[in-house]
Amino acid sequence: MPQVLKIFSIFSLSGLSFVLLSYSPPSFAIENPEELCDRGCTHTMEQILTEFQSALFEPSLSTVGYTGSCYHVRRGFDPEHEHYGAIIFTQNAPMLFSGLFTFFGSKSPYEKMSFEELDAYMSKRSTRKHEVVTTQNFQKIFLPSETVNITYWIKTSGAQAWLLSEWDYKYSSEPEDTRIFCTLYQRHLPQQSAP
């Protein structure tokens, strides 16, 4: 459990000692994707997590795009409502990742896009590419910022991918995180250059 009160400084004034304390709210960050369903998960989310855990991990090693359905645990969101996600792996050294979510759409805006259209769509929306860390069981992307730490865990197997994510807000004293569960399919391959 992280320390909530930290000693900021100790100083003495006329023989009296003062201790200044700074408060930092506890972090509720999840270290292991298996812990994502510790609260608030629907049956669909539990099913996605189970598939993530049991699927054979075949890391994405080439440039490819995946799109599909996503479900969110977040205050104000119906966890049963289907949202849409898109991710692209870009072959590089190291492998790079970019992603995008659409909320409350009636259908996926990504599904019928070519790889090039999907890549341009993401680039137009300032979706940066981030470094992928490949572990023994999944690929991981960690995006820290001043207000929120975002972690993505992705497992690819054949033409399917599962994306799990936690958005851990730093300035919330309550476990006010966002958790995302996606089942994605490889629908977007780049056009091959003519020989």
**Which pLDDT value is given to residue 50?**
95
- The 10 Å Cβ neighbour count of residue 2 is 10
Residue 6 lies in a domain: no
Instruction: Find the mean pLDDT for residues 80-86.
Output: 94
Instruction: Find the mean pLDDT for residues 50-58.
Output: 94
Q: Is the pLDDT of residue 18 over 50?
A: no
On whether the CB atoms of residues 99 and 165 are closer than 8 A, the answer is: no
Instruction: Find the mean pLDDT for residues 130-153.
Output: 92
Residue 32 lies in a domain: no
Of the pLDDT bands very low, low, confident and very high (cuts 50, 70, 90), residue 35 is confident
Of the pLDDT bands very low, low, confident and very high (cuts 50, 70, 90), residue 23 is very low
Residue 31 lies in a domain: no
Tell me the C-alpha distance between 39 and 133, whole Å: 27
**Which pLDDT value is given to residue 25?**
38
**Which pLDDT value is given to residue 152?**
94
Could you list the residue range(s) of the whole structural domain that residue 135 is in? 40-188
Instruction: Find the mean pLDDT for residues 69-73.
Output: 94
Cβ neighbours for 161, distance < 8 A, ≥ 6 positions apart: 60, 66, 68, 87, 154, 155, 182, 183, 184, 185, 186
Give the three-class secondary structure for 52: helix
**Which pLDDT value is given to residue 176?**
67
CATH of the domain at 144: 2.40.128
Tell me the C-alpha distance between 69 and 62, whole Å: 22
Residue 45 lies in a domain: yes
How many domains in the chain? 1
Residue 26 lies in a domain: no
Q: Is the pLDDT of residue 28 over 90?
A: no
Q: What is the pTM of this model?
A: 0.78
Of the pLDDT bands very low, low, confident and very high (cuts 50, 70, 90), residue 170 is confident
Q: Is the pLDDT of residue 98 over 60?
A: yes
